[in-house]
C-alpha cells in the first residue's frame, strides 16, 4: 500500500545523523519523498516491488579481472525499467486507465523497505534483503501505481542468532 513509512522515518533520520551514508550525500536529499510514495506518483495507492535475480550462469575465470556479479551483462537499469513498463502496459490492458511510474535507482525510493513490506524477503543483519527462495543476488525495483491492489504481508526474519554474513564479510563491515 502506497503510504507514508511511519516506522522508517526515525530510522532513516538516525541513520543520516550517524553519517551511515558515508559519501552518498544524495541520501540527505528528498527525505519526505523517500518516506512517502504519494509524493512521487500523484494519486498513488500501491507499490509493486519486484526482484530480478542476477546470479551469473557462468563464473569468472580465476586468471581474469574481478567484476562484481551484478555488473555482468546489460545494464540492469534499462532491463528492469523495460520489464516494469511492460507490466504497467499489461495492467492497463487488463483493468483500464492506470497511472504509474517505474523506479530503478532513479528516485528516492527505499527499495529494501518496500520489498520487505511486500513479502519479498527480510532485511538481514548485513542490511541486504534476503529471500529464502533466491538468497540476495537480485536487484530491487518498484512500480508505483494509482490503483489499489491486494497487498502481501511481510515475511518472518529468519536470521535469528545466525551471524554467517557478518563472519564472512570480506570488508569486516
Alpha carbon distance 40, 125 (integer Å): 29
151 CB contacts (<8 Å, ≥6 apart)?
1, 46, 118
First to last CA, the chain: 33
Output the CA–CA distances (angstroms, integers) from residue 65 to 57, 58, 60, 61, in the order listed: 17, 15, 8, 8
Q: Which residue out of 36, 63, 75, 105 is catalytically annotated?
A: 105
Dihedral of CA atoms 115, 120, 124, 127 in degrees, nearest 10, equals: -30
167 is catalytic: no
Residues forming the active site: 105
Amino acid at each position: 500500500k502506497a503510504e507514508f513509512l511511519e516506522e522508517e522515518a526515525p530510522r532513516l533520520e538516525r541513520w543520516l545523523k550517524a553519517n551511515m551514508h558515508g559519501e552518498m550525500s544524495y541520501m540527505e536529499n528528498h527525505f519526505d519523498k523517500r518516506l512517502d510514495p504519494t509524493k512521487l506518483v500523484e494519486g498513488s495507492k500501491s507499490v509493486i516491488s519486484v526482484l530480478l535475480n542476477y546470479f551469473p550462469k557462468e563464473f569468472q575465470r580465476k586468471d581474469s579481472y574481478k567484476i562484481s556479479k551484478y555488473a555482468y551483462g546489460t545494464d540492469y537499469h534499462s532491463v528492469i525499467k523495460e520489464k516494469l513498463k511492460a507490466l504497467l502496459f499489461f495492467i492497463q490492458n487488463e483493468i483500464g486507465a492506470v497511472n504509474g511510474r517505474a523506479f530503478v535507482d532513479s528516485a528516492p525510493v527505499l527499495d529494501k523497505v518496500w520489498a520487505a513490506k511486500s513479502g519479498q524477503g527480510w532485511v538481514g543483519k548485513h542490511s541486504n534483503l534476503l529471500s529464502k527462495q533466491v538468497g540476495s543476488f537480485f536487484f530491487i525495483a518498484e512500480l508505483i501505481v494509482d490503483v489499489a491492489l491486494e497487498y502481501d504481508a511481510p515475511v518472518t526474519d529468519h536470521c535469528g542468532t545466525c551471524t554467517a554474513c557478518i563472519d564472512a564479510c570480506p570488508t569486516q563491515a
